[in-house]
Structure 1
Amino acid sequence: MSHSVWIGVLAGCPVAHAQENHLPEIQVQGPRDASIGSADSASEGAVERESYQSRPKLRPGDIVEAVPGVVATQHSGDGKANQYFLRGFNLDHGTDFAVTVDGMPVNMPTHGHGQGYADLNFLIPELVSGVRYRKGPYFVHSGDFSLAGSASLDYFSALDSPFAEMTVGSHGFRRLLAAGSRTVQDQTWLGAIELEGNDGPWNVPEKLRKANAVLRYSQGSQTRGFSVTAMAYSSRWTSTDQVPQRLIDSGELQRFGSLNPTDGGKTRRISLSGKWFDKGPSGDTEFSAYAIDYRFDLFSDFTYFLDNPDNGDQFEQTDRRRVFGAQGSHTMANRIAGLDGVLSLGAQWRGDRIGEVGLYDTEARRRLGTVRNDKVSQDSLAVYGQQLVSFSDRWRGYVGLRGDALRYNVQGREPAFGPLNSGRGHDAQLSPKFGLAFAPTPAHEFYFNAGVGFHSNDVRGATITVDPKTGDAADRVPALVKGRGAEVGWRFQPHENLTATVALWKLDLASELVYVGDAGTTEPGRASTRRGLEATLRWNFDRAWRLEVDAAVSRARFKGVAPEGEGNHVDNAIERVLAAGITYIEGPLTASLRLRYMGPRALDTLNAVRSRATTLLNFGARYAVNRQLTLGLDVFNLAGRKGNDIEYYYASCTAGEVVSGSCSGGVNDRHVHPTEPRSVRISARYTF
């Protein structure tokens, strides 16, 4: 195979690029899924535009459910990041699932609420041109937070036509979106603005108020060009957090009731980014840079009156930071021992300047005391290289090496324990990667992948010496936690209208270390192992019909002998997921019916308490009345099932239990956040 052909193949392959840079007319089409001959694992791919755009989406973050095996839920207000599940992980808000939007990282390290916090509420789904994903630590381009997987979402540089769309729905939902672009010669301006409000089904109205805007300028040709993008987003809301199941069962609290009507928050995100690319005879070169200004305030109450019977247990978490970053890569054809190959080289830098990351005791959003108030600076630097070689028409493989280094400085400003928990340090890791692909026939391809990866911990846990709540001595944790993974897979693709994949995977973590933002401390956990099986089916069985099925089963266990009173189940680790959808696109009508099943899972390490299964059925349809007007209908939870978005098992104490004297150090119980009831949204889009 010639050098030019290899470059062409790799230009469309996720191994070569984290995201594509095309002329506007190419970006409008969106990416094609991975295929035999270009994919390097069974669990990587690209979601085609028709699939994710036709899906009914209750929240912007739901778009990541287009990644096979991913579940995105919510346990608080719609201004808070989703709760993610994948490959035997309750990923919290993104600890081991890395997300980028238009080349910018979404995950936040050393965040006020949780490590790796990935808030996608600034996303405008209609602008997304492609969703690319990888799973496992097998590729050099993926770094922090990508042990379970990663997703790259790109925005269009140009739209087919400008449009304005209005949506109204159940529970006070309303949304206005206007977007358009204009191209003159090789220069394109794109702009979009979104306004949204929602009260939700909650007894205490959510009062979501959201504003969002995007402005992009792009210029160039198919082989060379650049773009500059500005984004601005702000949101405020009142949240109904999880509540004890015992109160719902006794009738003391309604299913959508709240125990603290002052919970909620506000957030803001402003960014400026730029990308430049050059696709020439010597290879493909890309460079991008970004700057993000981020603000976050969150008031939560999960234990009610357990710790403070007088004022309650509400707390505030804050985050004030600026994020700067740059990355560059070069991909070129080469020859090794007479064999055709492709060499990829790259470097990445990210710097977080956190002016305040804080935790405060509050009552009705009024501060009562400071638990932690820190100023943090951390820089991560990575370099990587990957060599792909074609051994024959049937065999190809790659080897890669990634090096990551982290430096951090924590300055505690809380008078009592802040100086004791301050400090600076560094950590580093080398991560080798390997992959092999074998295609015995044009319709079948087999894969083997292995690699080392990591996730970072909140660096406050790497400098801590004293528990800020109790004053007791606290154990420090490493800044980087290593993980090792491997996978065997098979892809069946007899023709372009049918693709099936199967992947058998395993992942070992050195420690389930998690910074607990709700308490301001780090809990060192035991080593763990996960393994599972995933299968996908994509079938265009007719010109108008498309069937999609994703199934995943996984098993997560702690290693070694369990401490007394504990077991080896990793609590809240997802075990079974099934997602299926059928889409009809013919003439003016587009319709999609989607089912998502999330099976029971252990809520404690003994597996004595298990969650309930949740099944949701959603329907969406669009009908083009004429060239200008398109009407839409979305029905969420079509069957009206009473499930839970999340379930946790822990001790809490309500005001009534304090008065009656039945608290006794806390009542262990399920704490649930229900799925939303059946709701309807209708929309009208006018295209200019």
Structure 2
Amino acid sequence: MRKLAISPHPIWLGIIFGSAAACAQQSHLPEIEVRGPRDAGVGNADSASEGAVERESFQTRPKLRPGDIVEAVPGVVATQHSGDGKANQYFLRGFNLDHGTDFAVTVDGMPVNMPTHGHGQGYADLNFLIPELVSGVRYRKGPYFAESGDFSLAGSASLDYFSVLDAPFAELTLGTHNFKRLLAAGSRTREDQTWLGAIEIEGNDGPWEVAENLRKVSAVVRYSQGSPTRGFSLTGMAYKSRWTSTDQVPQRLIDTGQLTRFGSLNPTDGGSTQRVSLSGKWFDKGAEGETMISAYAIDYRFDLFSDFTYFLNNPVNGDQFEQTDRRRIFGAQASRTMPTKFGGMDGILSFGASWRGDRISEVGLYSTQARDRLATVRNDKVSQDLFAVYGQQLVYITDRLRGYVGVRGDILRYRVDERETRYGAVNGGKGHDAIASPKAGLAFALTPQHELYLNAGVGFHSNDVRGATIAIDRSGGSAADRVPALVKGRGAEVGWRFQPDENFTATVALWQLKLDSELVYVGDAGTTEPGRASGRRGIEATMRWKLDRAWRVELDGAASRARFKGFAPEGEGNHVDNAVERVLAAGLTYIDGPLTASLRLRYLGPRALDTTNTIRSRSATLVNFGVRYILNKNLTLGLDVFNVAGKKGNDIEYAYASCSAGEVASGACNGGVTGRHVHPMEPRSARVSARWTF
């Protein structure tokens, strides 16, 4: 078993605590932030399903894991089906998004989703995130805007980091299941120059019978210079973790008492990952418009050992497999927004270009036993570049009517070098694909308080390019079905927003999304699965209400329907398996003087686990509570309680065939036992924290 040592470098600690000590004499630089989608409000938003989350909403809510912050986006659910070092499982708009296939996430302008990833296409791991540094969460849903590109068919979320903190602090958190976390952060400003630093160290065993033994460290250093209208910043981030995971297990073994809810069938599952990045951005805002230029470089490493079928395929050594990813990512983007006039009508023109290059030295899949490699399924070297240009024109047609049209063009070039000796010569290759994505929208103000929206557009997600070059199925030696490198989707939405004043906002959106194909490359198997075209439609509603100075209420509801199109093959149906159907979220926040409290409820409804809708998941209801109290100017105490009601729900459920060692020994396997496989929600747990502000 490979070891991962975690030891914060003294330079990081020196920068952070040195800046903290000097922060008491600083004069704060106004926050430097490049604006994403416009603030949601009547007269400002261009759809009913875009917005900016209030800072109190995402900062006060209890977060079991860093990725839970995306649940501040209405309709999004983030769960986990493995260790806390693995990316979340996301749900939105009739999708089980796996780890991010159709949900694009950026942090500080850098893309998080990974194409042609060792585990899953669009893999979006947010475990490197330090939630306390997040200054803004902005979101858009649907393929309606020209600046939204790969992986954004269902939606996108943009998370920004602070450039300056109010005061330096150190926070210690202790919790059940041997949870430990230390966070220190601070900033220092002189004239128009600011240094910010933060470091986080975390450990956790979780409720699992096989201790998770999570060990994680994250660090951020940022230098920014300028004013709110013109400036630049350079940001370095580093993250490293290792863990032992308890993957999903058969419900049948829990029902018969052969396995507990928190038991494991393979105590050697788990992984390690690290991410180091350097990014920079420059912006200029003025009466003539806004210009932004940014660039980034990321070094990324990933190893994951999983076992979902146990002894089904290999009754002797078991079915554990290893997935690896070694890559460097480079990218740059530039955008310009400027006022225009057309025949006396005011308007806003936005245009830009971007490039992302992934240089993957190894993306591999290996069969293993207790983390020792037995055989190579695939071992590839991949290079891919995605180039994009876009333009969008907004026009104020009358005082009450405005509209926009836009178009986006993307070109993907790729090369796959397969190192596996048997089929490598035929499964590699190179190619390219391109797609044009038109967009349009209208907004009509019925009254100063009511606004209607109509939006439509074409979008896409990329597929794993190994699936675009594959010729021979490694598992059986037969011809494999190739997938298109870029898959088109068409969406439309009609919406309504009601905002009588700044204290109350309600929205409703009716939407639909059609995908040309559900074809995907299956990283767990090293092959492709041909699917069919699909269609999704649904309704979403949100409400934000500031009752008074202290109380805030949030309510989100979503219902959706996902179906494959056309005639179902024999033995299959038309339900899109694991597609989310109903989501309800509610939040109550109290902020008054030294006391802040937050109560959050999330309901994830039942859904089809197979295409015939024969096996359905159970619903899962989760209630979390958090409270903070400022004792004095230096000390703040906190308490978070997760799963307050102690519900025995599941974070994820799947339906497939597996076979345990006992079933093999008893002769009960018979080609596999099909049934529900689950990963339980964590039981009731608590964490206490103490923050010392300098």
Deviation at 1:216, TM superposition (A): 0.1
Aligned match of 2:14: none
| Structure 1 partner of 2:375 | 369
How far 1:336 moved relative to its partner?
Answer: 1.0
Correspondence 1:634 to 2:640: yes
- Deviation track 1:229-287 (CA, whole Å, cap 9, x = no partner) reads 00000000000000000000000001100000000000000000000001134321100
**Secondary structure of 1:600's aligned partner:** coil
**2: CA distance, partners of 1:681 / 1:475:** 49
> Are the aligned partners of 1:163 and 1:687 in contact in 2 as well (CA < 8 Å)?
yes
Q: How far 1:353 sits from its partner (Å)?
A: 0.1
Residues 31 and 130, structure 1, Cα contact 8 Å, conserved in 2: no
Counterpart residue number, 2:292: 286
Alpha-carbon distance in 2 for matches of 1:24, 1:64: 26
Q: Deviations over 1:138-191 (max 9, x none)?
A: 001110000000000000000000000000000000000000001000000000
Deviation at residue 542 of structure 1 after TM alignment: 1.4
Q: Quote the Cα distance in structure 1 between the aligned partners of 2:494 and 2:319.
A: 47
1:241 aligns with 2:252: no
User: Any conservation in 2 of the 1:379–1:408 contact (CA below 8 Å)?
Assistant: yes
2:252 partner amino acid: R
Aligned residue in 1 for 2:60: 54
- Look up the SS of the partner of 1:659 in the other structure: helix
Secondary structure of the corresponding residue to residue 185 of structure 2: strand
Pair 1:162-2:173 in alignment: no
Contact 1:327 1:348 in 2 (8 A): yes
Please state whether the residue corresponding to 2:263 is helix, strand or coil.
Answer: coil
Please list the CA deviations of residues 422-444 of structure 1 after superposition, one character each: whole Å capped at 9, or x if unmatched.
Answer: 00000000000001000011100
Amino acid at match of 1:118: A
Question: What are the superposed Cα offsets for residues 297-342 of structure 1, whole Å, 9 maximum, x if unpaired?
Answer: 0000000000000000000000000000000001111111221101
Query: In 1, are the aligned partners of 2:36 and 2:138 still within 8 Å (CA)?
Result: no
Task: State which of 493, 512, 523 in structure 2 corresponds to 1:506.
Answer: 512
Identity in percent: 80
| In 1: Cα distance, 2:37 partner to 2:563 partner | 37
Residue 22 of structure 2 is matched in structure 1 by none
Change over 3 Å in CA distance of 1:387–1:31 after alignment to 2 = closer
TM-score scaled to structure 1, two decimals? 0.96
Q: Which amino acid aligns with 2:343?
A: A
Q: Tell me which of 113, 119, 129 is aligned to 2:119.
A: 113
1:645 corresponds to which letter in structure 2?
A: D
Q: Which of 490, 494, 511 is residue 484 of structure 1 equivalent to?
A: 490
Superposed, 1:195-234 pairs within 5 Å as: 195-234=201-240
8 Å CA contact 2:639–2:686 kept in 1: the answer is yes
Distance (whole Å) between structure 2 residues aligned to residue 31 and residue 490 of structure 1? 18
**Residue of structure 1 in register with 2:177 after alignment:** 171
Distance across 2 between alignment mates of 1:28 and 1:604: 43
Give 3-state SS (helix, strand or coil) of 2:647's partner: coil
Partner of 1:250: 256
2:629 alignment counterpart: 623
Match of 1:646, as an amino acid?
Answer: I
Distance in 1, matches of 2:641 and 2:387, equals 45
Select which of 146, 151, 156 maps to 1:150: 156
Deviation at 1:391, TM superposition (A): 0.7
- Cα offset, 1:392, TM superposition: 1.1
Q: Tell me the amino acid that sits aligned with residue 524 of structure 2.
A: D
- Where 1:403 maps in the other structure, the secondary structure is strand
Q: Return the alpha-carbon distance in structure 1 between the equivalents of residues 525 and 549 of structure 2.
A: 55
Distance in 2 of aligned mates of 1:522 and 1:633: 47
For 1:289 and 1:596, how far apart are their aligned partners in 2? 37
Whether the aligned pair in 2 keeps the contact of 1:225 and 1:276 (CA below 8 Å) is yes
1:562 aligned partner:
568
Give the letter aligned to residue 613 of structure 1. S
- 5 Å matches for 1:639-678? 639-678=645-684
* Residues 1:126 and 1:109: Cα distance change in structure 2 (over 3 Å): same
> Per-residue CA shift, 1:422-471, capped at 9, x if unaligned?
00000000000001000011100000000000000000000000011221
Alignment of 1:151-550 (within 5 A): 151-550=157-556
Q: Secondary structure at the match of 1:260?
A: coil
User: 1:24, CA displacement in angstroms?
Assistant: 3.5
CA distance in 1 between counterparts of 2:672 and 2:228 reads 63
**CA, structure 1 residues 23+438, in 2 after alignment: closer, same or farther (shift >3 Å)?**
farther
Distance 1:88 1:65, change over 3 A: same
Q: Secondary structure at the match of 1:397?
A: strand
- Cα displacement string for residues 180-212 of structure 1 (whole angstroms, at most 9, x for unaligned residues): 001000000000000000000000000000000
Would the aligned equivalents of 1:32 and 1:47 in 2 still touch at CA under 8 Å? no
1:87 matched to 2:93? The reply is yes
- Kindly indicate whether the alpha-carbon contact (under 8 Å) linking 1:31 and 1:49 is maintained by their aligned counterparts in 2: no
Q: What TM-score does the superposition give when structure 2 sets the normalisation length?
A: 0.95
Q: 1:28 Cα shift?
A: 13
In structure 1, distance between residues paired with 2:331 and 2:38? 28
Q: Which amino acid aligns with 1:144?
A: D
Cα 1:375/1:30, change in 2 over 3 Å? closer
Structure 1 31/348 Cα, relative in aligned 2: closer, same or farther at 3 Å?
Answer: closer
Check whether the contact 1:27–1:158 (CA below 8 A) recurs between aligned residues. no
* In structure 1, C-alpha distance between the alignment counterparts of 2:335 and 2:149, rounded to whole Å: 15
Instruction: From 582, 586, 591, give the equivalent of 2:592.
Output: 586
| Deviates further, 148-157 or 507-516 | 507-516
Counterparts of 1:63 and 1:348, CA distance in 2: 27
Q: Is the 8 Å Cα contact of residues 46 and 130 (structure 1) preserved in structure 2?
A: yes
1:121, distance to aligned residue in structure 2 (A)? 0.1
- Cα distance, 1:418 vs. partner? 1.2
Alpha-carbon shift at residue 129 of structure 1 (Å): 0.2
SS in 1 for 2:427: coil
Task: Assess if the C-alpha contact under 8 Å between 1:28 and 1:129 holds in 2.
Answer: no
Residues 407 and 425 in structure 1, CA contact (< 8 A), matched pair in contact too:
yes
Check 1:29–1:112 CA distance in 2 against 1; reply closer, same or farther (3 A cut). closer
Distance 1:239 1:427 in 2: 37
Unpaired stretches in structure 1, ≥5 consecutive residues: 1-21
Work out whether residues 73 and 83 of structure 1, in 8 Å CA contact, stay in contact via their aligned partners in 2: yes
Distance, in Å, in 1 between the alignment partners of 2:559 and 2:641 is 28
Aligned residues: 667
Post-superposition offset of 1:23: 5.7
Give 1:294 deviation, angstroms.
Answer: 0.1
